């Protein structure tokens, strides 16, 4: 049980509490959200996106500031009326970009609620996020892919130079994702690299169905199972 919520939040900001642990604690322990919400000034709002069921379009609206809504928007690329499953939330809690957004949101909260409180933001998440941003090929991505990218990065010794770390990282990624020369998907939207039994599948080909719709074909190199990802311009 967390007895000092303010201290727990600061420990997360300073890297003394694991980021994934903090995000899952926020979900499971309503006291954290209640504590933060109690400091929100009246009239504060926050922009959210949602699906208009009648029109089938995504709209944006200003809503009363709610820290739970804020955290949920960080944990998804979907409009806010999408319901996150427990497994989705668990995976999102490991995402470095989400961790970084939440760390900054908590730092902003402490600064606003306790302007005289001294603390230092731990740079670890930011450094890891920026390493992946600079080292990862733009066509590789997706929830399972992002988990694997983070795992590969963490396996490379930190004492190596960044140049050597990037080189080793890319070599390992090419091996794991079965990349051959310049053969890779030209996604219409964000990458959605499929996995099979926890492994990246091999990209085979892509095909235009019409001027707006493309199919991306993949195969599992061990089982021969195939998957098709459909994206739209």
**Domain chopping of the chain, boundaries:** 5-113, 140-232
pLDDT of amino acid 150: 94
Model pLDDT for residues 30-84, shown as the tens digit of each residue: 999 999 999 998 889 888 777 777 776 777 888 898 998 888 877 765 555 556 6
Q: Please give the torsion angle defined by the CA atoms of residues 137, 138, 144 and 147, in that order, rounded to the nearest 10 degrees.
A: 60
pLDDT of amino acid 233: 85
Nearest to 23 by CA among 68, 77, 82, 79: 68
Model pLDDT for residues 168-223, shown as the tens digit of each residue: 999 999 999 999 888 999 999 989 999 999 999 999 999 999 988 999 999 999 99
Nearest to 10 by CA among 131, 157, 118: 118
Q: How many CB atoms lie within 10 A of CB 32?
A: 22
Nearest to 63 by CA among 46, 51, 78, 49: 46
The alpha carbons of the chain give a radius of gyration, in whole angstroms, of 20
């Amino acid at each position: 049980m967390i007895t000092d919520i303010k201290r727990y939040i600061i420990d997360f900001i300073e890297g003394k509490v694991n980021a994934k642990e903090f995000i899952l604690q926020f979900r499971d322990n309503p006291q954290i959200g209640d504590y933060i919400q109690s400091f929100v000034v009246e009239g504060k709002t926050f922009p959210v996106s949602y699906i208009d069921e009648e029109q089938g379009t995504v709209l944006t609206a200003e809503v009363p500031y709610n820290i739970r809504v804020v955290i949920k928007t960080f944990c998804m690329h979907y409009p806010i009326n999408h319901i996150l499953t427990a497994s989705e939330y668990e995976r999102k809690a490991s995402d470095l970009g989400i961790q970084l957004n939440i760390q900054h949101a908590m730092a902003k909260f402490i600064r606003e609620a306790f302007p005289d409180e001294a603390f230092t933001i731990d740079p670890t998440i930011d450094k890891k996020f920026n390493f992946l941003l600079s080292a990862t090929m733009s066509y590789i991505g997706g929830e399972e892919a992002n988990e694997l990218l983070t795992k590969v990065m963490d396996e490379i010794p930190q004492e190596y130079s960044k140049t050597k770390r990037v080189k080793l990282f890319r070599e390992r990624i090419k091996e794991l994702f079965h990349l051959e020369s310049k053969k890779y998907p030209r996604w219409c939207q964000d990458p959605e690299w499929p996995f099979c039994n926890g492994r990246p599948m091999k990209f085979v080909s892509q095909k235009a169905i019409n001027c707006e719709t493309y199919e991306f074909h993949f195969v599992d190199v061990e089982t021969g199972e195939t998957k098709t990802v459909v994206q739209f311009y």
